């Protein structure tokens, strides 16, 4: 490229301004979409990769296989004492436990909650957290030492050099308050981690809780370190034998692995591995985003190549002249490719800027903090510029350089690569629109599902509820005082205590309930223990029978006499799981055996406390008036949430100031559970809209190119008697053909993808043909509009002008 | 058949007004063979385009038989062209992506009354100009003379009453030029009105009347003396 060819490039760009803006702009947008979505994928797949030696760290999973249990599958946690037993059986195993525990930092008599964890003294053998000050391993050897992160050091001591300072803490484990000495400050953990602690303390070596060594319980995370993947594999292979040997105690003498297994999972895979029976929603959306990003880039690239090739045809005359003036073929080819690379580089630069501009916005919409790693992005874009540039420049370069100069003139249409070129372009438009239409269908269905989830019946009145989670940490006397205080508040109409609440906090227990007269352990039902007014507070729908009633002394299982069945309420699913034809049929029946013999007094509609991706489970509710242990409180209020929340908090601060108040509305808690899907929907929509936009720009450019190329042909057709209408129909019809065919490709594609996605929901919307028809009609409209504006202009021009045109 | 009264055509571009036609008054009878001559830029093509209704005069009247074509709308003019006119250009103006046969068929596509004999008419037109053996070829596979004969076939396939030819022999060698002139003459003999722009005095001599133009005006109109 010399200055003359640069000048020529500049002229050609400014002469076709709109065309250049569209051409470079759409590629830039494609690159920006790719960058942003690529960042998202990189973020989600980079979890724990910041850890030194992350490829040597493994998480122990507990895998449940209990017939009909709602909690089957692999979970990331284990029994408390597992590591000790592993060490006994496999001497030399390096590992640590992490037991997350809320920690209250007491200052001036008021507790502030921090995320804490208790870990083994060997913690640093597995997690070599970078330290800012102090000594990590030494601190964990002392029961009164704590490690804090930079934020916490700044927050409480105003300095990173907090070693030797003391903190008064209440740990959630034993509820005791004590004074701890800061032995070290570790670097803040990055965003891409599921390890979320800010305060680390020692996990006491001696544990007295009965469940600590109870097989079948899970209470903390166990991590192991292996020198090689092969060593981890070898260890994994020995775990079944280990479980069968050790688990017999609690899981029964017959092959305990029938119920429970253990496995090790690379820590880097843990983030995208769904827990239990959960659908792999996160990994799915990561894949979806990746695909959208790549496709957006692909569409944009194809678009660019397509337009560049098409436009090159319009320069046939310039090339013919250059040849006449003696330019040789190689020079011409080099010039074309040089131009193309330069333009793509320009587009990449614009794309990078667009991504940078869009990121704050994207981060706000998705609550992430993505940033462009320039060290990686710039070389990648340089490669992209070369590849796309050469691809976009090569075909027209060779085509035009070989085009016989003599035949450029005397042709009704400017050369556009001939019939083959036209066919290729039509195929590309088809491909673009097939993807764009799939995206449109996807966006419609995602939006519909999100809206459906948001408005779906959860079985209770989700607005007007406050869930006080910190109630689990209050003492029994405090619970008494709190409930009395709240009941006295004017805006609180009803309140209840239960070991579970909207949003899913609480315990997850499931029990098998034997059906009389049928062999086997019977179906497994989730158990929720509730206090008075539970169903009334939640606004649950009673389908048959009655709710718990304090007046029926026998409803309270604490008052029950030996041998008398426990009164339970079950949900609709529970009724069918237990084999009753209708809710009415269940009322008054007795199920179970032994000390788990129940009389069903009522049936309520299913209540969904969890995310829409978790299946609603068959559940039974048992009742006691004395809910004073590990219960969350749920309050029904009226009026403004802020006012109600302030009043509820006021009471809390009077009664239990040392326990940090933790409450939110049921709406907020559910929204939190729906968040990841809504984020994914939002990102997908942004990507899809941009992809459609790029596709339209492509179509517009191509239509404009084609129309320009055919101005003279239009003139000829008019001399032959074609009217404006004939011409518009001809041009639009020709352009809509690939778009129509694109629908046929898009529909099955979108259908398969969306059916898979919807399968992850327990209550999916119906994949109605309307979504497909709507997307197609929309695509056709956009395409028709895009094309007809230009066709109309060309068709209405005075034919004499067109005939002169070349 | 045709009567032009005070036809003017001027172009305005960036404040400069170019007058291509200044007050043209002209009559052409049915069945006439007229040649238009004059230096380059004097308005010959503009006049021909005006006759062909593919250019709109700035003023004046264009009578075809007894109807004022200036009052027709765009669709009406398109229909008029489809049914009455055939165009032949210096640069042939065949469509590259279509075969010769398809190019010729295009001359019938926009006619409302066609009947089922399209194929037959295309074959007849090709026979008439002697291009049948090239029916399936594409224009760039043909010589200039063949292309021009194909273009004439396209112009006559709809059996137009008037043929407008703008320097039809301008891009052809002597022999091919003569062939084209022979075809035009025979069409005229069969009753078509032919209006032809040419630079060749010998070709102009084959017409019955010669119109000389200069600076957008008709300066002489003389019937050939036989
Ligand atoms: N679209 C146009 N815009 C401006 N001027 C035009 C246009 N078309 C023709 N002219 C001018 O009108 C005059 C007559 O042109 P034309 O009829 O093509 O001449 P001829 O065919 O006799 O060579 C010329 O001066 C030409 O420059
Ligand atoms: Mg001319």
Cβ atoms A603, A586 nearer than 8 A: yes
pLDDT for A14 equals 67
Residues A747 and A768 occupy one common structural domain: yes
Share of chain A above pLDDT 90, in %: 23
User: To the nearest 5 percent, what fractions of chain B are helix, strand and coil?
Assistant: 35, 30, 35
The ligand placed nearest to the CA atom of residue B20 is: 1
Q: Note whether residue A124 is domain-resident.
A: yes
pLDDT for A402 equals 62
Q: What is the pLDDT of residues A361-403, one digit of tens each?
A: 878 877 777 888 888 888 988 998 888 888 777 766 666 666 5
Closest C-alpha to ligand 1, atom 6: B11
Residues A284 and A232 occupy one common structural domain: no
- Of A412, A719, A796, Cβ closest to residue B54: A719
Q: What is the pLDDT of residues A6-65, one digit of tens each?
A: 666 676 666 667 777 877 888 898 888 888 888 888 888 889 999 999 999 999 999 888
Residues A266 and A353 occupy one common structural domain: no
Q: What is the pLDDT of residues B126-145, one digit of tens each?
A: 999 999 999 999 998 999 99
User: To the nearest 5 percent, what fractions of chain A are helix, strand and coil?
Assistant: 55, 20, 30
Domains annotated for chain B, with CATH where assigned, are 29-56+73-223 (3.40.50.300)
Indicate whether A628 pLDDT > 90.
no
Q: A-chain residues within 8 Å CB-CB of B83?
A: 721
Nearest C-alpha neighbor of A239 from the set A57, A75, A65, A82: A82
Mean pLDDT of A428-443: 84
Q: What is the pLDDT of residues A559-578, one digit of tens each?
A: 777 778 889 999 998 898 88
Mean pLDDT of A254-283: 81
Mean pLDDT of B183-206: 94
Residues A529 and A560 occupy one common structural domain: yes
- Six token digits for residue A499: 């070991």
Q: Note whether residue A169 is domain-resident.
A: yes
Q: A-chain residues within 8 Å CB-CB of B46?
A: 800
pLDDT for A178 equals 87
Distance B213 CA to ligand 2 centre (A): 12
Q: 0.80 cut: is pTM over it?
A: no
Residues A114 and A223 occupy one common structural domain: yes
Residues A320 and A401 occupy one common structural domain: yes
ipTM of predicted assembly, 2 dp: 0.89
Q: What is the pLDDT of residues A200-221, one digit of tens each?
A: 999 888 887 777 888 877 788 9
Q: Note whether residue A459 is domain-resident.
A: no
Q: Note whether residue A284 is domain-resident.
A: yes
pLDDT for A109 equals 76
CA atoms within 13 A on the CB side of A742: 30
Lowest mean pLDDT among A508-512, A528-532, B189-193: A508-512
Q: What is the pLDDT of residues A682-734, one digit of tens each?
A: 777 877 777 777 777 777 777 777 777 777 788 888 888 888 888 888 888 87
Mean pLDDT of B12-39: 91
pLDDT for A489 equals 92
Residues A4 and A63 occupy one common structural domain: no
Q: Note whether residue A729 is domain-resident.
A: yes
Residues A69 and A18 occupy one common structural domain: no
Residues A738 and A633 occupy one common structural domain: no
Closest C-alpha to ligand 1, atom 11: B20
Cβ atoms A172, A101 nearer than 8 A: yes
Residues A33 and A68 occupy one common structural domain: no
pLDDT for A313 equals 64
B20 lines ligand 1 (CB under 6 A): yes
* Residue A497, domain extent: 492-637
Lowest mean pLDDT among A301-305, B15-19, B29-33: A301-305
Q: What is the pLDDT of residues A62-110, one digit of tens each?
A: 988 876 666 778 888 898 889 999 999 999 899 999 988 878 888 877 7
Indicate whether A674 pLDDT > 50.
yes
Instruction: Report the 10 Å Cβ neighbour count for A595.
Output: 10
User: How many Å separate Cα A709 from the centre of its chain?
Assistant: 47
First to last CA, chain B: 23
pLDDT for A411 equals 44
Q: What is the pLDDT of residues B69-93, one digit of tens each?
A: 888 888 888 889 988 999 998 888 8
Residues A104 and A238 occupy one common structural domain: yes
CB contact under 8 A, B95 and A407: no
| Ordered DSSP codes for A697-720 | HHHHHHHHHHHHHTHHHHHHHHHT
Q: Which residue has the higher pLDDT, A526 or A173?
A: A526
Residue with tokens 């509305």: A665
Q: What is the pLDDT of residues A463-506, one digit of tens each?
A: 899 999 888 878 888 898 999 999 999 999 999 999 888 887 66
Q: B-chain residues within 8 Å CB-CB of A722?
A: 78, 82, 109-110
Report how far residue A760's alpha carbon sits from residue A676's, in angstroms, rounded to the nearest whole number. Answer: 13
Q: Which residue of B has its CA nearest to A805?
A: B93
Q: Note whether residue A134 is domain-resident.
A: yes
Report how far residue A159's alpha carbon sits from residue A478's, in angstroms, rounded to the nearest whole number. Answer: 36
A vs B: CB pairs below 8 A: 80
Å between B225 CA and nearest CA of chain A: 33
Q: Note whether residue A88 is domain-resident.
A: yes
State how many domains chain A has: 4
Share of chain A above pLDDT 70, in %: 89
User: Length of chain A, please?
Assistant: 806
Residues A238 and A336 occupy one common structural domain: no
Mean pLDDT of A241-270: 85
Q: Note whether residue A289 is domain-resident.
A: yes
Query: Mean pLDDT for chain A?
Result: 83
């Amino acid at each position: 490229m010399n200055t003359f060819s640069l000048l020529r490039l500049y002229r050609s760009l400014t002469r076709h301004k709109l065309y250049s803006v569209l051409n470079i702009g759409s590629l830039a947008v494609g690159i920006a979409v790719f960058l942003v979505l690529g960042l998202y994928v990189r973020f989600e797949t980079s979890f724990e990769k910041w850890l030194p030696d992350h490829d040597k760290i493994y998480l122990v999973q507990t895998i449940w296989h209990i017939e009909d249990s709602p909690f089957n599958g692999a979970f990331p946690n284990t029994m408390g004492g597992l590591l000790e037993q592993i060490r006994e059986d496999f001497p030399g195993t390096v590992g640590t436990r992490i037991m997350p525990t809320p920690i209250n930092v007491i200052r001036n008599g008021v507790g502030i909650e921090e995320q804490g964890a208790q870990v083994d003294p060997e913690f640093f053998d597995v997690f070599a957290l970078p330290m800012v000050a102090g000594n990590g391993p030494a601190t964990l050897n002392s029961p009164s030492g704590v490690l804090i992160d930079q934020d916490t050091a700044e927050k409480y001591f105003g300095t990173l050099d907090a070693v030797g300072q003391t903190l008064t803490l209440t740990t959630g484990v034993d509820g005791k308050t004590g004074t701890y000495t800061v032995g070290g400050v570790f670097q803040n953990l990055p965003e891409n981690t599921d390890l979320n602690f800010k305060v680390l303390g020692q996990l006491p070596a001696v544990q007295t809780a009965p469940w600590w060594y109870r097989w079948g319980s899970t209470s903390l995370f166990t991590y192991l370190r292996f020198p090689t993947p092969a060593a981890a594999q070898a260890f994994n292979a020995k775990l079944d034998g280990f479980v069968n040997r050790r688990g017999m105690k609690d899981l029964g003498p017959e092959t305990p692995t029938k119920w429970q297994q253990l496995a090790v999972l690379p820590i880097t895979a843990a983030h995208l591995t769904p827990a239990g029976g959960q659908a792999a929603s996160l990994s799915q959306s990561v894949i979806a985003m990746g695909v959208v990003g790549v496709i957006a880039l692909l569409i944009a690239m194809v678009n660019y190549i397509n337009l560049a090739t098409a436009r090159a045809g319009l320069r046939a005359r310039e090339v013919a002249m250059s040849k006449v003036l003696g330019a040789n073929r190689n020079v011409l080819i080099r010039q074309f490719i040089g131009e193309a690379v330069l333009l793509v580089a320009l587009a990449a630069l614009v794309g990078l800027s667009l991504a940078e501009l869009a990121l704050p916005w994207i981060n706000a919409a998705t609550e992430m903090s993505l940033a462009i790693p320039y060290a990686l992005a710039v070389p990648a874009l340089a490669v992209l510029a070369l590849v796309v540039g050469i691809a976009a420049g090569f075909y027209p370069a060779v085509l035009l350089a070989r085009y016989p100069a003599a035949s450029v003139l005397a042709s009704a249409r400017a050369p556009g690569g001939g019939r083959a070129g036209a066919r290729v372009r039509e195929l590309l438009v088809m491909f673009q629109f097939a993807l764009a239409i799939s995206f449109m269908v996807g966006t419609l269905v995602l939006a519909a599902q999100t809206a459906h989830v948001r408005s779906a019946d959860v079985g209770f009145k989700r607005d007007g509820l406050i869930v006080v989670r910190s109630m689990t940490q209050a003492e029994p006397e405090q619970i008494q005082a709190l409930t009395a205080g709240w009941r006295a508040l004017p805006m609180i109409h009803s309140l209840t205590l239960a070991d579970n609440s909207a949003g899913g906090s609480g315990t997850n227990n499931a029990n098998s309930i034997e059906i009389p007269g049928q062999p086997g352990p019977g179906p497994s039902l989730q158990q929720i223990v509730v206090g008075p007014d539970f169903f009334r507070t939640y606004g649950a729908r009673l389908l048959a029978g009655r709710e718990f009633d304090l007046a029926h002394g026998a409803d309270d299982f604490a008052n029950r006499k030996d041998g008398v069945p426990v009164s339970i309420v079950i949900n609709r699913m529970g009724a069918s799981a237990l084999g009753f034809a209708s809710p009415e049929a269940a009322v008054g029946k007795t199920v179970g055996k032994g000390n788990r013999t129940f009389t069903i007094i009522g049936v309520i509609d299913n209540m969904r406390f969890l995310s829409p991706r978790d299946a609603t489970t068959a559940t039974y509710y048992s009742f006691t008036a004395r809910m004073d242990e590990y219960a969350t409180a749920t309050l029904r209020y009226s009026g403004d949430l802020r006012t109600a929340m302030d009043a509820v908090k006021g009471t809390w601060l009077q009664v239990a100031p040392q326990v940090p108040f933790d409450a939110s509305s049921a709406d907020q808690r559910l929204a939190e559970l729906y968040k990841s899907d809504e984020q994914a929907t939002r990102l997908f929509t942004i990507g899809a809209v941009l992809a459609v936009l790029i596709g339209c720009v492509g179509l517009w450019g191509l239509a404009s190119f084609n129309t320009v190329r055919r101005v003279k042909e239009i003139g000829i057709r008019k001399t032959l008697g074609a009217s404006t209408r004939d011409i518009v129909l001809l041009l639009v019809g020709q352009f809509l053909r690939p778009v129509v065919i694109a629908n046929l490709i898009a529909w099955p594609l979108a259908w398969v993808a969306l059916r898979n996605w919807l399968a992850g929901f327990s209550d999916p919307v119906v994949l109605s043909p309307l979504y497909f028809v709507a997307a197609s009609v929309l695509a056709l409209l956009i395409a028709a509009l895009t094309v007809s504006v230009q066709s109309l202009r060309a068709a209405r021009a005075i034919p004499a002008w067109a005939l002169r045109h070349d | 058949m045709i009567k032009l009264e005070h036809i003017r055509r001027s172009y305005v571009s960036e404040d400069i007004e170019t007058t291509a036609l200044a007050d043209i008054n002209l009559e052409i009878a049915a069945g006439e063979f007229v040649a238009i001559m004059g230096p380059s830029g004097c308005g010959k093509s503009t006049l021909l385009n005006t006759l062909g209704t593919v250019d709109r005069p700035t003023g004046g009247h264009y009578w075809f038989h007894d109807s004022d074509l200036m009052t027709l709308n765009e669709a009406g003019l398109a229909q008029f062209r489809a049914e009455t006119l055939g165009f032949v250009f210096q640069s042939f103006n065949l469509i590259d992506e279509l075969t010769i046969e398809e190019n010729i068929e295009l001359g019938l596509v926009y006619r409302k009354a066609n009947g089922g004999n399209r194929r037959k008419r295309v074959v007849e037109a090709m026979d008439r100009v002697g291009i049948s053996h090239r029916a399936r070829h594409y224009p760039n596979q043909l010589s200039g003379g063949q292309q021009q004969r194909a273009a004439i076939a396209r112009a006559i396939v709809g059996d137009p009453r008037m043929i407008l030819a703008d320097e039809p022999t301008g891009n052809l060698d002597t022999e091919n030029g003569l062939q084209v002139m022979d075809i035009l003459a025979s069409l005229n003999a069969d009753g078509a009105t032919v209006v032809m722009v040419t630079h060749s005095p010998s070709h102009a001599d084959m017409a019955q009347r010669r119109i000389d133009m200069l600076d957008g005006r008709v300066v002489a109109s003389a019937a050939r003396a036989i």
